[in-house]
Amino acid sequence: MAALLGHIFKTQKNSILLRNIITTFNTISSSSLHQTPFILPTLSQVRLIGNAAESVCGFDEMVKGNDRKYYMLGGKGGVGKTICAASLAVKFANHGHPTVVVSTDPAHSLSDSFALDLTGGNLVPIEGVSSPLYALEINPDKSMDEFRTAGQKLGGGGAKSLMQSMGLGAIADKLGELKLEELLHTPPPGTDEIIAITKVMQFLESEEYSKFSRIVFDTAPTAHTLWLLSLPEFLDGSLGRLIKMKAKLGSVFNSLLGKEQPQNSSLDKLEKLKERVAKIHDLFHNPDTTEFIIVTIPTIMAISESSRLHASLKKESVPVKRLIINQVLPPTSDCKFCSMKIKDQMRAIETIHNDSELAGLRLCQAPLVDTEIRGVPALKFMGDKLWR
Ligand X SMILES: Nc1ncnc2c1ncn2[C@@H]1O[C@H](COP(=O)(O)OP(=O)(O)OP(=O)(O)O)[C@@H](O)[C@H]1O
Contacts of 247 (CB under 8 A, 6+ apart): none
CA distance 210 to 203: 10
Nearer to ligand X, 194 or 369 (CB): 369
CA distance 250 to 255: 9
- Near ligand X by CB under 6 A, which window of 103-111, 135-143, 255-263, 278-286? 103-111
| Residue 223 makes contact with ligand X by CB under 6 A | no
C-alpha neighbours within 13 Å on the C-beta side of residue 325: 32
Nearer to ligand X, 100 or 382 (CB): 382
Nearer to ligand X, 79 or 154 (CB): 79
Q: Which residues of 229-264 are buried (b: 16+ CB within 10 A; e: fewer)?
A: bbbeebbebbbebbbebbeebbebbeeeeeeeeeeb
Q: Give the x-and-dash track for 294-333 against ligand X (CB under 6 A).
A: --------------------------------xx------
CB of 151 to ligand X, least distance (A): 28
| Residue 109 makes contact with ligand X by CB under 6 A | yes
Give me the helices (H) in the chain, please: 2-11, 18-23, 30-34, 59-63, 81-94, 110-114, 140-153, 157-165, 169-177, 180-185, 191-204, 223-226, 231-234, 240-257, 265-284, 300-315, 336-353, 376-386
CB of 349 to ligand X, least distance (A): 15
Q: Say which of 60, 67, 105, 370 is annotated catalytic.
A: 105
Nearer to ligand X, 213 or 225 (CB): 225
- Near ligand X by CB under 6 A, which window of 87-95, 101-109, 131-139, 150-158? 101-109
Say how many residues touch ligand X, by CB under 6 A: 19
Interface residues with ligand X (CB under 6 A) are 77-83, 105, 107, 109, 221, 326-327, 366-369, 372-373
Residues with a known catalytic role = 105
